[in-house]
């Protein structure tokens, strides 16, 4: 085994610092006592964290993002699960084509998807006001389109680890398609399906490229709210919310890594 | 049709129908916009190709994407090398440094660069208080900020194809090289790098395709001064309503990305990259 030389380790360390630096820079800025983006000089203040609590818009945006996340990842995971099961169980000869088709929103440039979904939702706005431009259900449907390919990939990967012989045995004993799905396959891949749901939720929770095109003033998700505070005069409240989000991610990654390490031992 | 023939359709149908109605048909609609707004014809495509302003945006986008691709693949290669082949502690630390930024949203990460580099940000404040500079350096709201922010965003994505190329190696090749007296440096450059070249190319193509459609990072870190294709489309749709041109540019971008993806599938075999 070729071990990395000291030079390689130093280079990797430099890249690691580069990756972490902007995340660390947010922390002091969030404690500035000033009303504009700056470093705290001497006094550290919690006023921007207080502002997050005092301004109900932040809480509303968070609630909206959670609602959209649950609905969109629910739709995406369910449809992706059915699709992947269909491919895995029946293996149609045109499955390559089908895969290409359902992965389109993932491989197309986000801005092309954004203009496409904008077209879709303003078209729907003319005939109803529920699934429409700038409504929360409209956003959830658009997010479901964007995250469904990722859910398909996740579920397909976990299906590829299922031993086909178990399913063949069930089939041999006369199990129906429904029994094979609910009694044999789903219990085996339930962890993969949960992961797909979780990943879809995170993707919807963070989605901004498409959301920017399909919302204006009513369906303001958390990323959309941050975007508005980031454009012209930067609101230091963005620093405070960023610190909270970064802390959540770091804790989640640390917990996951700790569990993985323990399993290795 | 019997019930048995129907079952695959019932499973496969819903997602295909959903994406067909919510994605494929609307995309055809966008294509229709590009040839009917404001008047029927291919005028918008002519404009998209010949207009000097749009021309410069395309050129800038390619230039930035190229720089960002090279920078993020090189950085990813360095950190992946230690992640895959380092000591257990080195592996753990590099893994955390790759995964944490990966899960943090594009907005927060772009904002991190603003907090670090803006006139009253961390770096300028420190350098001023240490007396290294007297006036703050302008590091964001220009192309430099865009390149840094995009590179930062794309490194974790470049890591995965490179890591899978570095993992599926025959260790005996290196033993043989060392046994015949090659130095570690030489083994690295003449054997390790060429063997992992497919992973490097795959990562490069993938990052380039990603970078082309970038919107959020350039919009925040470029401050409207170094507009890229995606932001141009946004501006044409929402600020100077010129839907036909926005749609035409989108279609061109989609075609270009399609060609690059075909190359990716043809030469790098993405199923190997995912492994």
Q: In this structure, is the dihedral angle defined by the CA atoms of residues B162, B163, B164 and B167, taken in order, positive or negative? A: positive
Hey, which of A164-168, A254-258, B69-73 has the most confident mean pLDDT?
B69-73
Q: Is residue B224 over pLDDT 70?
A: yes
pLDDT in tens, A167-204: 889 988 988 888 898 988 999 898 889 999 999 999 99
Probe site for chain A from B12, B68, B185 (most A CB atoms < 10 A): B12
pLDDT in tens, A46-80: 888 988 888 898 999 999 999 999 999 999 999 99
Q: How far is B72 from chain A (nearest CA, A)?
A: 10
pLDDT of residue A178: 87
For the residues B56-84, what does the mean pLDDT come to?
93
Probe site for chain A from B14, B15, B24, B270 (most A CB atoms < 10 A): B15
Question: Residue A238 in contact with residue A229, Cβ under 8 Å?
Answer: yes
Question: Residue B101 in contact with residue A19, Cβ under 8 Å?
Answer: yes
pLDDT of residue B67: 96
Question: Residue B160 in contact with residue B273, Cβ under 8 Å?
Answer: yes
Question: Residue B217 in contact with residue B136, Cβ under 8 Å?
Answer: no
Residue B1 — very low, low, confident or very high, per pLDDT cuts 50/70/90? Answer: very low
SS3 of B2, please? Answer: coil
Percent of chain B clearing pLDDT 70 (strictly above): 95
Q: Is residue B226 over pLDDT 80?
A: no
Q: Which residue among A2, A144, A177 places its CB closest to the CB of B184?
A: A2
Domains for chain A: give ranges and CATH numbers.
58-235 (1.10.3720.10)
Residue B269 — very low, low, confident or very high, per pLDDT cuts 50/70/90? Answer: low
pLDDT in tens, B95-123: 999 999 999 999 999 999 998 988 888 88
Q: What Å distances lie between residue B254 and A109, A113, A142, B235, B248, CA to CA?
A: 7, 10, 19, 18, 10
Return the residue of B nearest to A255 by Cα.
B96
pLDDT of residue A242: 92
Q: How far is B24 from chain A (nearest CA, A)?
A: 8
Q: Do A83 and B15 touch (CB under 8 A)?
A: yes
Nearest by Cα to B97 from A265, A11, A232, A169:
A11
pTM across the whole model: 0.89
CA A10 to chain CA centroid, Å, is: 33
Q: Give one word for A42, left, alpha or beta, with left for phi > 0 and alpha for psi -120 to 50.
A: left
pLDDT of residue B121: 83
Q: Give one word for A207, left, alpha or beta, with left for phi > 0 and alpha for psi -120 to 50.
A: beta
pLDDT in tens, A89-143: 888 888 888 988 999 999 899 899 999 999 999 999 999 888 888 899 999 999 9
ipTM attached to this prediction = 0.89
Q: How many helices (H) and strands (E) does chain B have?
A: 16, 0
Question: Can you tell me the distance from the alpha carbon of B256 to that of B246, in angstroms, rounded to the nearest whole number?
Answer: 15
Nearest by Cα to A155 from A215, A102, A93:
A102
Q: Which residue among A22, A202, A253 places its CB closest to the CB of B113?
A: A22
pLDDT in tens, B237-265: 888 778 888 899 999 999 999 998 888 77
Question: Can you tell me the distance from the alpha carbon of B102 to that of A60, in angstroms, rounded to the nearest whole number?
Answer: 26
Q: In this structure, is the dihedral angle defined by the CA atoms of residues A206, A211, A212 and A215, taken in order, positive or negative? A: negative
Q: Do A26 and B111 touch (CB under 8 A)?
A: yes
Q: Which residue among B15, B95, B116 places its CB closest to the CB of A102?
A: B15
Superfamily (CATH H level) for B64-240+267-274: MetI-like (1.10.3720.10)
Question: Can you tell me the distance from the alpha carbon of A226 to that of A239, in angstroms, rounded to the nearest whole number?
Answer: 10
Q: Do B90 and A9 touch (CB under 8 A)?
A: yes
B104 touching A, CB under 8 A? yes
Share the mean pLDDT of chain B.
86
Question: Residue A130 in contact with residue B261, Cβ under 8 Å?
Answer: no
């Amino acid at each position: 085994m070729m071990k990395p030389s000291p030079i390689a380790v130093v280079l990797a360390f430099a890249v690691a610092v580069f990756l972490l630096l902007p995340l660390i820079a947010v922390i002091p800025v969030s404690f500035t006592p000033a009303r504009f983006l700056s470093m705290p000089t001497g006094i550290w203040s919690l006023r921007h964290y207080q502002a997050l609590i005092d301004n109900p818009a932040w809480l509303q945006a968070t609630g909206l993002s959670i609602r959209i996340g649950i609905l969109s990842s629910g739709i995406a995971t369910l449809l992706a699960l059915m699709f992947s099961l269909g491919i895995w169980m029946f293996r149609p000869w045109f499955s390559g084509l089908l895969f290409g088709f359902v992965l389109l929103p993932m491989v197309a440039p986000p801005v092309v998807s954004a203009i496409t979904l904008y077209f879709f939702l303003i078209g729907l706005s003319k005939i109803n006001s529920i699934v429409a431009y700038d409504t929360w259900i409209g956003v959830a449907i658009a997010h479901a389109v964007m995250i469904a390919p990722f859910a398909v990939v996740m579920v397909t990967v976990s299906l590829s680890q299922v031993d086909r012989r178990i399913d063949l045995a069930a089939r041999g004993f006369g199990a129906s398609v429904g029994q094979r799905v609910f009694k044999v396959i789903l219990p085996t891949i339930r962890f993969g399906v949960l992961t797909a749901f979780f990943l879809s939720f995170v993707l919807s929770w963070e989605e901004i490229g498409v959301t920017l095109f399909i919302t204006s003033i009513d369906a303001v998700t958390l990323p959309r709210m941050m975007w508005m505070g980031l454009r012209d005069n930067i609101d230091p409240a963005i620093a405070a919310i960023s610190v909270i989000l970064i802390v959540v991610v770091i804790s989640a990654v640390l917990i996951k890594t700790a569990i993985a390490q323990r399993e290795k031992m | 049709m019997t019930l048995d023939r129907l079952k695959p359709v019932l499973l496969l149908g819903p997602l295909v129908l959903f994406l067909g109605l919510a994605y494929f048909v609307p995309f055809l609609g966008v294509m229709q916009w590009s040839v009917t707004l404001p008047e029927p014809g291919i005028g918008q495509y002519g404009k998209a190709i010949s207009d000097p302003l749009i021309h410069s945006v395309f050129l800038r986008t390619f230039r930035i994407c190229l720089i960002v691709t090279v920078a993020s693949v090189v950085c990813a290669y360095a950190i992946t090398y230690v992640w895959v082949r380092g000591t257990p502690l080195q592996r753990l630390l590099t893994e955390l440094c790759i995964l944490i930024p990966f899960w943090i949203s594009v907005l927060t990460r772009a904002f991190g660069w603003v907090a670090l580099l803006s006139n009253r940000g961390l770096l300028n404040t420190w350098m001023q208080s240490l007396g290294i500079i007297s006036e703050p350096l302008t590091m964001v709201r220009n192309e430099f900020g865009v390149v840094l922010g995009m590179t930062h965003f794309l490194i974790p994505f470049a890591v995965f194809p490179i890591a899978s190329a570095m993992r599926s190696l025959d260790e005996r090749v290196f033993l043989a090289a060392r046994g015949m007296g090659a130095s570690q440096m030489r083994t690295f450059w003449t054997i390790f790098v060429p063997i992992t070249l497919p992973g490097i190319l795959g990562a490069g193509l993938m990052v380039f395709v990603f970078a082309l459609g970038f919107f959020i990072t350039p919009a925040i870190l470029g401050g409207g001064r170094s507009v890229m294709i995606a932001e141009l489309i946004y501006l044409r749709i929402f600020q100077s309503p010129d839907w036909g041109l926005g749609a035409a540019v989108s279609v061109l971008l989609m075609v270009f990305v399609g060609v690059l993806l075909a190359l990716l599938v043809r030469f790098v075999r993405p199923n190997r990259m995912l492994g």
